[in-house]
RNA sequence: GGCGGGGUAGCCAAGUGGUAAGGCCGGGCUCUGCAAAAGCCCCAUGCGACGGUUCGAUUCCGUCCCCCGCCUCCA
């Protein structure tokens, strides 16, 4: 089966074929963060989905060129900078750094580039696009100095979201401060400077101002990936108006031959404990919040990745707990398999059926089906090891398979490079000695001492295993 | 109102016109000096409601109910 995804544009499932044909580079544009604050767990749901997509594409042999933008100028960033009395760059810098740190914690693959909206190169490209749109009659400057996209000039507007502008005539929704626009739905390409913008602004042919949000993505996407992009991802809330606007801008400013994007993919939102995540409800989490609660990046990753991207995800404490338990099971299985394979230099290929992990993902990233294959394989091979029926070569074959599986899931245990504290190591050594002398009472006392220090001890047939409790 | 996504066991969640994957929780057992851990087994005559088509529907059709999102630069 070929790799297929549900294309928002056509609302049908389609095989992914790069623009240049199979074997050619596949361009992937993923909407990135607006760095006015720490990204929240809902943002990361989208990024984890995109990571799964990229990893699976690569596993299937696609050569992926991915770009993710950083929006570092908009209403919120300006408001934050002005409120803090610092420059826009000073304000956004820590949030940019936090974003990359969080992305690493969640094991997200790096994109090829992370263009920033305030980059002079990008600003210049935005102005160039706006100029073209003006020249072609797709944009106009209003009385307030702002430049707007003239939606009436683009009959295809609404094709992605399938909205009918006829049904949204100006009326109850006209904001009082938008009187200068020709039509309500016209959106800003260039926002003219206002006092609230403080020191933020760029000189342009239309006066001092700043770019509109939609034009940022349009300019960065086409500038780095070309006028036609293969796949463009984002959250469902971006379908309208953001992505609709991007289509309008790109297809009107470009050479007009090809579509801006060939495959649109959108992930659903997540909820927290059954409710919409909102600051007012007190269920608004950043990754940092979760780490502070004792969860690890890979546990959060598992919780986010294990629900199909188009289904709304109910993010709960129970779900995180389930992630922790399931990961522990995978870890234990991997360790056991590694030991079973130790004496084998060769590997026997596993049953072909476990390739079902990948064919499930081929079907619009059916992660549930894929995980089912993984856990069935875990149970079946555990059963064989219980019975002493799994040969070392078979174990090695399974390990190699799991290596490919993990290339997509990225759920391996964290590297615990840290040395054990000296006193802990001493207690462990003492206990090992006591155990070999069968001094159970002393052994138990030492275990209690370790527990008091915050260490959890487990006796396995290969000796003591310790972890932080 | 318009557009879109959903309602499957306590929770999360696949899937098929032919009698319900997987994960977590729970129960049982095995192993172990004990404990913990780990492993195996069990766990929905039922798939929002009501009609219809069919030999047979959770899966197809119709009607209805409920949840979530977008239509206000929020993933």
Protein CA A73 to sugar C1' B1 (Å): 35
pLDDT tens for residues A357-383?
999 999 999 999 999 999 999 999 999
Tell me if A4-267 shares its fold with A272-409. Answer: no
Residue nearest to nucleotide B6 (CA to C1'): A311
For the segment A210-216, the average pLDDT, to the nearest whole number, is 94
Query: How far apart are alpha carbons A208 and A251 in whole angstroms?
Result: 26
How many other C-beta atoms are found inside a 10 Å radius of the C-beta of residue A198?
17
For A192, residues 6+ apart whose C-beta sits below 8 A from its C-beta are A144, A145, A146, A206, A207, A208, A209
Q: What is the pLDDT, as a whole number, of residue A169?
A: 40
- Pull the structure tokens for residue A451: 């527990």
Query: How far apart are alpha carbons A13 and A5 in whole angstroms?
Result: 5
Whether the beta carbon of A164 falls within 7 A of nucleic chain B: the reply is: yes
For the segment A443-461, the average pLDDT, to the nearest whole number, is 82
| Position A428 pLDDT exceeds 90 | no
Nearest to A106 by CA among A266, A293, A299, A271: A299
Q: What is the pLDDT, as a whole number, of residue A40?
A: 92
Assess contact for A327 and A298: CB atoms under 8 A: yes
| Position A170 pLDDT exceeds 50 | no
pLDDT tens for residues A226-274?
999 999 999 999 998 999 999 999 999 987 767 999 999 999 999 988 8
Query: What are the structural domain ranges in chain A?
Result: 4-267, 272-409, 422-468
> Under CATH, which number does the domain A272-409 receive?
1.10.730.10
Query: How far apart are alpha carbons A106 and A344 in whole angstroms?
Result: 33
pLDDT tens for residues A64-100?
999 999 999 999 999 999 999 999 999 999 999 999 9
Protein CA A11 to sugar C1' B61 (Å): 22
Whether the beta carbon of A366 falls within 7 A of nucleic chain B: the reply is: yes
Where are the strands (E) in A172-240, listed by range? Answer: 188-192, 209-211, 229-235
Q: How far separated are the first and last CA of chain A, in Å rounded? A: 45
Protein CA A273 to sugar C1' B67 (Å): 14
How many other C-beta atoms are found inside a 10 Å radius of the C-beta of residue A136?
13
**Which bases of strand B have any atom within 7 Å of the beta carbon of a protein residue?**
1-6, 11-15, 21-25, 32-41, 68-75
3-state secondary structure of A12: strand
| Position A168 pLDDT exceeds 60 | no
Query: How far apart are alpha carbons A244 and A8 in whole angstroms?
Result: 11
How many other C-beta atoms are found inside a 10 Å radius of the C-beta of residue A25?
15
Protein CA A461 to sugar C1' B15 (Å): 40
- For residue A147, the surrounding DSSP H or E stretch is strand A147-149
Protein CA A312 to sugar C1' B65 (Å): 21
Protein CA A59 to sugar C1' B37 (Å): 34
Whether the beta carbon of A468 falls within 7 A of nucleic chain B: the reply is: no
Query: How far apart are alpha carbons A52 and A367 in whole angstroms?
Result: 9
Q: What is the pLDDT, as a whole number, of residue A172?
A: 40
Whether the beta carbon of A212 falls within 7 A of nucleic chain B: the reply is: yes
| Position A214 pLDDT exceeds 80 | yes
| Per-residue confidence band for A452, with pLDDT thresholds at 50, 70 and 90 | confident
| Position A460 pLDDT exceeds 50 | yes
CA of A335: nearest nucleotide by C1' is: B38
Assess contact for A202 and A119: CB atoms under 8 A: no
- CATH 1.10.645.10 matches A4-267: no
Whether the beta carbon of A317 falls within 7 A of nucleic chain B: the reply is: no
Whether the beta carbon of A11 falls within 7 A of nucleic chain B: the reply is: yes
| Per-residue confidence band for A469, with pLDDT thresholds at 50, 70 and 90 | low
């Amino acid at each position: 089966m070929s790799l297929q995804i549900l294309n928002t544009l056509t609302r049908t499932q389609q095989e992914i074929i790069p623009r240049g044909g199979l074997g050619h580079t596949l361009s992937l544009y993923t909407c990135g963060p607006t760095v006015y604050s720490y990204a929240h767990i809902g943002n990361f749901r989208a990024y984890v989905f995109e990571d799964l997509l990229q990893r699976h594409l690569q596993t299937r042999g696609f050569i992926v060129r991915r770009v993710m933008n950083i929006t570092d100028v908009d209403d919120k960033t300006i408001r934050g900078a002005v409120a803090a009395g610092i420059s826009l760059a000073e304000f956004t810098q820590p949030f940019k750094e936090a974003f990359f740190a969080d992305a690493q914690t969640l094991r997200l693959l790096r994109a090829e580039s992370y263009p920033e909206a305030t980059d002079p190169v990008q600003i210049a490209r935005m102005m160039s696009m706006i100029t073209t749109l003006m020249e072609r009659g797709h944009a106009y400057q209003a009385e307030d100095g702002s430049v707007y996209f003239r939606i009436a000039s683009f009959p295809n507007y609404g094709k992605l979201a399938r909205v009918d502008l006829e049904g949204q005539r100006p009326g109850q929704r006209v904001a009082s401060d938008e009187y200068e626009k020709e039509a309500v739905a016209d959106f800003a390409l260039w926002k003219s400077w206002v006092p609230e913008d403080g020191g933020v602004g760029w000189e342009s042919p239309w006066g001092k101002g700043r770019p509109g949000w939609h034009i940022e993505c349009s300019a960065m996407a086409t500038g780095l990936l070309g006028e036609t992009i293969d796949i463009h991802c984002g959250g469902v809330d971006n379908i309208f108006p953001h992505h609709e606007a991007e289509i309008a801008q790109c297809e009107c400013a470009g050479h007009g031959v090809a579509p801006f994007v060939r495959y649109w993919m959108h992930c659903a939102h997540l909820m927290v404990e059954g409710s919409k995540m909102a600051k007012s409800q007190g269920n608004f989490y950043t990754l940092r919040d979760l780490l502070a609660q004792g969860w690890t990046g890979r546990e959060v990753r598992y919780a986010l990745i294990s629900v199909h991207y188009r289904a709304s995800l109910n993010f709960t404490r129970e779900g995180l707990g389930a992630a922790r338990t399931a990961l522990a099971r995978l870890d234990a299985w991997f360790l056991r398999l590694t030991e079973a394979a130790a004496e084998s230099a060769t590997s026997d290929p596993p049953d072909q059926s476990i390739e079902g992990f990948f064919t499930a993902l081929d079907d619009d990233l059916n992660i549930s089906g894929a995980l089912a294959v993984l856990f069935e394989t875990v149970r079946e091979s555990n059963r064989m090891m219980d019975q002493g029926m799994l040969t070392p070569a078979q174990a090695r074959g399974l390990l190699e398979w799991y290596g490919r599986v993990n290339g997509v899931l990225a759920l391996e245990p964290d590297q615990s490079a840290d040395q054990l504290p000296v006193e802990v190591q001493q207690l462990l050594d003492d206990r090992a000695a006591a155990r070999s002398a069968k001094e159970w009472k002393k052994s138990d006392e030492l275990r209690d001492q370790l527990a008091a220090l915050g260490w959890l001890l487990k006796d396995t047939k290969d000796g003591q295993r310790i972890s932080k409790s």
